[in-house]
């Protein structure tokens, strides 16, 4: 039992709670529904030039690192296991894609982002396991700020890229699959070009992780870096067929600069990264605002003595009951 202090019993109550109580803010829950936080970072610090360039909102994560591992929908333990299963599925699919083209597996944006999605679920599941074991995120807070930033931005990139992958594939690259695809090629392509979107939508629905427009550099830099990587592949890769690819091998045909109009894609794609990133941030902000509105309506109903679910149990007591029953608070 935690030693009593001003918030001691409250923090002990929620540190291992199966569900995260509804916050008054999308990113920084307020008492009496607080979880263990790093109280040395109550708000944005002095913004140096480097800090502003990297991420001016990292203080949100340092003030409430449970954003990474808790949910309004399911318990933190259930969220951890969902991520474990998602990671296992991603790993399970890798050999099937390697069997199709092991030599050039790491050349494709699809496969790189598929591995990135698996890395996110692995990291998030590990942090969730540590949170459920320790009852706090102290070990995460002891990590270097760079690794904390990398953890958050790993999610930011996967949340953005897995809208781009299926849209680009099914609109520009799926012709050969539709005309000549076998059951095996459909199996692998549907998983990496459609199931990835399902997984990231599930993650968006369940998690509490915010996104901000200031996080654009990691997405844009990664996208432009891949275009540069495509040029590097074209320059050094010698395993192509000169009959089928007289101008040399390109990872994606629409990037072939020998084709008329190919350069427009080098303008369109960076703009698409910006567009999809902004749309992804907007979806996160809409999700958080809806959750805040529902939490405020529920609180107002309880204050008026008319709980929305037919009970006069205080929110803190509901959280205790949910901790023992494993149910989540309705949102």
Could you check whether the bond before residue 285 is cis, i.e. omega within 30 degrees of 0? no
Q: Are 41 and 59 in contact (CB under 8 A)?
A: yes
Q: How many domains does the chain have?
A: 1
Find the mean pLDDT for residues 143-162: 93
Distance CA 180, CA 173 (A): 13
Distance CA 16, CA 136 (A): 8
- Summarize pLDDT for 154-178 with one digit per residue, the tens: 999 999 999 999 999 998 888 888 8
- Summarize pLDDT for 46-105 with one digit per residue, the tens: 555 555 555 667 888 888 999 999 999 999 999 999 999 999 999 999 999 999 888 889
Please report whether residue 141 resides in a domain.
yes
Residue 267's CB is within 10 A of a number of other CB atoms, namely 9
Range of the domain at 73: 56-298
Q: State whether the Cα torsion 169-173-175-181 is positive or negative.
A: negative
Please report whether residue 180 resides in a domain.
yes
Please report whether residue 199 resides in a domain.
yes
| DSSP line for 205-266 | HHB-----GGGHHHHHHHHHHHHHHHHHHHHH---S-TTT-TT---SSGGG-TTSTTTHHHH
Full-model pTM: 0.76
Furthest CA-CA distance within the chain = 78
- Summarize pLDDT for 18-30 with one digit per residue, the tens: 444 444 344 443 3
Listed range (121-125, 177-181, 313-317) with the worst mean pLDDT: 313-317
Please name every residue paired with 71 in a beta bridge, in sequence order, or none if there are none. 207
| Cα–Cα nearest to 252, from 160, 161, 174 | 174
- Compute CA 249 distance to the chain's CA centroid, rounded to the nearest angstrom: 33
Find the mean pLDDT for residues 150-154: 93
Please report whether residue 6 resides in a domain.
no
Please report whether residue 23 resides in a domain.
no
Please report whether residue 228 resides in a domain.
yes
């Amino acid at each position: 039992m935690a030693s009593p202090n001003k918030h001691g019993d409250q923090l002990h109550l929620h540190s291992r709670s199966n569900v995260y109580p509804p916050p008054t803010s999308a990113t920084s829950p307020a008492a009496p529904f607080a979880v263990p936080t790093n109280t040395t970072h109550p708000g944005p610090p002095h913004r140096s030039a480097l800090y502003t360039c990297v991420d001016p909102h990292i203080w949100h994560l340092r003030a409430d690192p449970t954003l990474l591992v808790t949910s309004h929908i399911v318990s933190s333990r259930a969220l951890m296991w969902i991520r474990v299963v998602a990671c296992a599925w991603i790993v399970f699919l890798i050999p099937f894609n390697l069997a199709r083209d092991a030599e050039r597996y790491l050349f494709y944006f699809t496969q790189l982002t598929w591995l990135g999605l698996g890395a996110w679920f692995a990291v998030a599941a590990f942090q969730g396991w540590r949170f459920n074991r320790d009852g706090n995120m102290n070990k995460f807070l002891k990590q270097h700020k760079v690794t904390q930033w990398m953890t958050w931005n790993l999610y930011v990139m996967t949340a953005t890229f897995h809208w781009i992958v299926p849209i680009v594939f099914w609109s520009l690259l799926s012709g050969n699959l539709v005309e000549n695809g076998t059951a095996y090629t459909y199996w692998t392509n549907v998983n990496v070009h459609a199931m990835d979107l399902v997984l990231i939508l599930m993650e968006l629905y369940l998690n509490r992780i915010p996104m901000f427009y200031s996080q654009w550099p990691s997405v844009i830099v990664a996208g432009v870096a891949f275009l540069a990587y495509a040029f590097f592949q074209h320059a050094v890769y010698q395993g192509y067929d000169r009959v089928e690819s007289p101008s040399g091998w390109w990872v994606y045909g629409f990037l072939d600069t020998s084709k008329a109009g190919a350069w427009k894609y080098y303008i369109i794609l960076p703009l698409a990264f910006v567009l999809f990133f902004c749309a992804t941030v907007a979806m996160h902000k809409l999700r958080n605002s809806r959750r805040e509105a529902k939490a405020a309506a529920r609180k107002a109903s309880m204050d008026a003595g008319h709980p929305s679910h037919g009970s006069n149990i205080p929110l803190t007591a509901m959280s205790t009951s949910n901790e023992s029953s494993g149910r989540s608070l309705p949102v």
